């Protein structure tokens, strides 16, 4: 059975400010979706709301995985159901090795009933698996001995998230501008890594402004967001057109979306 992530009439506020104004979207395992739009349109807000960030308050609508309403669930509960978010700015955790972090994360997802300090995946099994995944991704095995994102370059931080993706094997992966601030070589590494991992068991939502990421991972569906809602849906050709020509014509076709954003800003002020 193919899993489905369903977003229905989702409204989200940050503090007193409404950001999303009725987002609808369905993502199935095996599909690649792109979410595009100008800065401030609500793309990252959608990503954080899907992942369960506590600062993003769902005021209406729902998020479901296979018919299970996860809207009120904590972030760790959603992760156990197969949700993964690659952050635009990954967190640095000095003193915690990459391998230790991943062993606990993998154990939590695969054995959600385990108690703290118990039920960890066997060390021999884990070492074998992480080495295989790092080899597949072209990563130096010594990378696993380093502290999580501590002293990492921008490209290394994003490689770390791709490694997490490989180890956790979520049903739905959301990448929030994971190519932001990277040079062309790092973008290529991340793009190729994602292309290797995406398959029939993973639905992918790519939030990006970068053409390269979508060249390696062409979307079957491209969603355009303005004023906190989806205003157009197309295929990979729509993404290419937006990269080439920007959002002026989209704005002209949907002036009501920009008006909604202006009204929300006026309310917040």
Cα–Cα distance, 25 to 225 (Å, whole number): 11
Look at residue 105 and tell me if it is in a domain.
no
Look at residue 55 and tell me if it is in a domain.
yes
Q: Structural domain tally of the chain?
A: 1
Full domain range(s) for residue 78:
4-91+170-268
Look at residue 153 and tell me if it is in a domain.
no
Provide the CATH number for the domain around residue 258: 3.40.50.300
Look at residue 237 and tell me if it is in a domain.
yes
Look at residue 65 and tell me if it is in a domain.
yes
Look at residue 68 and tell me if it is in a domain.
yes
CA atoms within a 13 Å half-sphere pointing along the CA-CB vector of 152: 26
CA atoms within a 13 Å half-sphere pointing along the CA-CB vector of 121: 23
Look at residue 121 and tell me if it is in a domain.
no
Six-digit token pair at 26?
């369905």
User: Per-residue confidence of the chain (269 residues) as pLDDT tens digits?
Assistant: 899 999 999 999 999 999 999 999 999 999 999 999 998 999 999 999 999 999 999 999 999 999 999 999 999 899 989 999 987 677 888 899 999 999 989 998 887 666 665 678 889 999 999 999 999 888 889 999 999 988 888 778 888 888 999 999 999 999 988 766 667 777 777 788 888 888 899 999 999 876 777 888 899 999 999 999 999 999 999 999 998 889 999 999 998 886 655 444 444 43
Cα–Cα distance, 196 to 193 (Å, whole number): 5
Look at residue 137 and tell me if it is in a domain.
no
């Amino acid at each position: 059975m193919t899993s489905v992530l369903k977003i229905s009439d989702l409204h989200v506020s940050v503090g007193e400010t409404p950001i999303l104004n009725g987002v609808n979207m369905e993502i199935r395992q095996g599909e690649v979706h792109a979410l595009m739009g100008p800065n401030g349109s609500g793309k990252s807000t959608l990503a954080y709301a899907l992942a369960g960030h506590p600062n993003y308050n769902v005021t209406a609508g729902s998020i479901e995985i296979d018919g299970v309403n996860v809207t009120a669930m904590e972030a760790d509960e959603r992760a156990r159901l197969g949700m993964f978010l690659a952050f635009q700015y990954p967190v640095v955790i000095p003193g915690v090795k990459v391998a230790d972090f991943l062993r606990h994360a993998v154990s939590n997802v695969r054995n959600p009933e385990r108690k703290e300090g118990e039920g960890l995946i066997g060390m021999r099994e884990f070492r074998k698996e992480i080495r295989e995944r790092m080899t597949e991704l072209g990563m130096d095995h010594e990378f696993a001995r380093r502290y999580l994102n501590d002293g990492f370059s921008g490209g290394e931080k994003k490689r770390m998230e791709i490694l997490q993706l490989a180890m956790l094997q979520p049903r739905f992966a959301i990448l929030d501008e994971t190519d932001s601030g990277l040079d062309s070589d790092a973008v290529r590494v991340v793009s190729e890594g994602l292309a290797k991992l995406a398959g029939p068991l993973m639905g992918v939502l790519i939030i990006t402004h970068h053409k390269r990421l979508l060249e390696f991972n062409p979307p079957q569906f491209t969603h355009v967001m303005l004023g906190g809602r989806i205003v157009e849906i197309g295929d990979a050709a729509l993404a290419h057109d937006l990269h080439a020509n920007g959002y002026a014509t989209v704005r002209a076709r949907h002036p009501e979306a920009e008006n909604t954003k202006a009204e929300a800003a006026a309310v917040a002020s």
